[in-house]
Amino acid sequence: MKHWIVALMALWGVSACSGPQVLNLVAQTPGPVQHNIAYGPLPRHTLDIYSPKVMAADTPVLVFYHGGSWQYGSKDDYKFLGSAFAARGIQTVVVNYRLHPDVIFPAFVEDGAKALAFTQKSIAKGRPVFISGHSAGAHIAAMIALDPEFLTAEGTNICEASKGVIGIAGPYDFTPVEPVFKRIFPTEILPSTKPINYVGTKAPPMLLLHGTKDTTVDPKRSEQLAAALAEHQNLAEVKLYSGVEHLYIIGAISPVVRRSAPTLLDTVNFIQEQKTAGYPGCRGQVKS
């Protein structure tokens, strides 16, 4: 079984019969799924909604941004993720956003903020909202949470829009080396592209998950962001999964790969702990 899983995850992103597609084959959706809901005017401004079988007035919502080096990926790859969280009572919104080469920074962060504002106003309608992402998606989630300009442009703010952030293997202090990343994040604006440079006193609680064998994004990026958040009296926790690699940490949300990392359990526990809490920098600022 272990060797089969290794082969499966090796397919992720390099084959038409990709890892996510295989994981999606075994995913069981517990409740209704709404596909291709428009949150904006452009073709990539769409999202999918995975709902629990039973909804309640306090059912939390998780907005998820996929990874793919800001160049690849689709919400369609994450049926396994939406289904897993919906099965645990969390309504899950999986977002598409614009990709390079069509756009560069900050277009994909702007899209992420637009999707979050849409979720806050049109889907959650007062229920607690959390944001999460894997790899490039974690970068997007952190930028939205820490740089206020993106949500301000959508007529909201992080205090009103989200109760917390779950970053999964995110590059929060990323310096481009490869030419493609230098195009996505031009040198002249590089400091403005790093979530860690926006840490202040109004950050939402953050759970930062990372595998110790991640060779795509160094685990110290999560540790550095958590340290910066703590310096400003924000709530932040890092969980490092021993021996876990970059793709396994997100694939572990599927039952096929779940034994490799407790990504699902830790995320669900964080949401349940924080869904009724107010965080220090935003107390008294959230509209009732």
Q: Would the pLDDT of 111 be above 50?
A: yes
Each residue of 90-108: pLDDT tens digit? 999 999 999 999 999 999 9
8-state DSSP, 166: E
Angle at the Cα of 9 (from 99 to 28), degrees rounded to 5? 85
Compute the distance between CA of residue 141 and CA of residue 166 in angstroms, rounded to an integer.
8
Task: Please give the residue that has the higher pLDDT: either 3 or 136.
Answer: 136
Percentage of the chain modeled with pLDDT above 70: 91
Please give the CATH number for the structural domain made up of 2-277: 3.40.50.1820
Q: Would the pLDDT of 79 be above 50?
A: yes
Q: Would the pLDDT of 17 be above 50?
A: no
pTM of the prediction?
0.93
Percentage of the chain modeled with pLDDT above 90: 82
Residue-level pLDDT at 279: 80
The model's confidence at residue 15, banded by pLDDT at 50, 70 and 90, is very low
Residue-level pLDDT at 18: 61
Which range (77-86, 178-187, 279-288) has the least confidence?
279-288
Q: Which residues of 135-163 are buried (b: 16+ CB within 10 A; e: fewer)?
A: bbbbbbbbbbbbbeebbeebebbbbbbbb
Q: What average pLDDT does the chain have?
A: 92
DSSP string, 104-137: -TTHHHHHHHHHHHHIIIIIITTS-EEEEEETHH
